[in-house]
Amino acid sequence: MHRLAGPAALTAYAGTITAANWLTAHYGMVPVGLGLVTTAGTFAAGAALLLRDTVQDTLGRGWVVAGITAGAALTAITSPVLALASTAAFLAAELADMAVYTPLRNRGWARAVLASNTAGAVVDTLLFLLLAGFPITTATVGGQLVGKLAWATVLPVLAVVTVRRWRRAVPRHTVRA
């Protein structure tokens, strides 16, 4: 089962990059509440930031770049402009993410993910909006960060931490032969 974790994470990672760009190409900007807007693919892009850490943990850093490349190639079919903007933004964001995640990983998964995704989300947001031709305003940057950090990072991390704590608290029953 654990042998499949790496390839599954890589496939999901490339898939979320592709999905983020497909959603953005087809739906553009969408409201997220409180006067904020974001590209339609922001939630998938936020999930990609979380999956990047899983790919690094299971397969190594080189496979992160392979996932970005695969996502870019699939995106180019739909939108070459978004493929270029996305590739540049993801590469820069992943470098920022990796620079934070790698040294923090031994101090705890949740801490490393929250800190690194914050760094990666800021870089990805600003560079993607700029290169893809979307406006850089308080409403768009705020909307992107709400989508990537609140919905696609904090909630999944809280879910994982909660399940881990619950599993530790529940006594394990031993099977007697």
Q: Give the pair of three-digit tokens for residue 82.
A: 């978004």
| pLDDT tens digits, 43-81 | 888 888 889 889 989 999 899 999 999 999 999 998 999
Question: Is residue 175, in this structure, part of any structural domain at all?
Answer: no
Question: Is residue 177, in this structure, part of any structural domain at all?
Answer: no
pLDDT at 2 over 90: no
- Residue 6 sits in a domain of what CATH number? 1.10.1760
pLDDT of residue 97: 86
- When divided into structural domains, the chain yields a total of 1
pLDDT at 1 over 60: no
Question: Is residue 174, in this structure, part of any structural domain at all?
Answer: no
pLDDT averaged over every residue in the chain: 90
pLDDT of residue 58: 94
Question: Is residue 55, in this structure, part of any structural domain at all?
Answer: yes
Question: Is residue 176, in this structure, part of any structural domain at all?
Answer: no
Diameter over CA atoms, the chain: 66
Q: Which domain holds residue 14?
A: 2-169
Burial class (CB in 10 A: 0-12, 13-18, 19+), 64: buried
| pLDDT tens digits, 135-168 | 999 999 999 999 888 888 888 889 889 998 998 8
Are the beta carbons of 82 and 24 closer than 8 angstroms? yes
pLDDT of residue 129: 96
Are the beta carbons of 19 and 71 closer than 8 angstroms? no
- Name the 3-class secondary structure at 58: helix
Q: What is the CA radius of gyration of the chain?
A: 17
> Which H or E run includes 38?
strand 36-39
Q: Look up the pTM and report it.
A: 0.85
Question: Is residue 87, in this structure, part of any structural domain at all?
Answer: yes
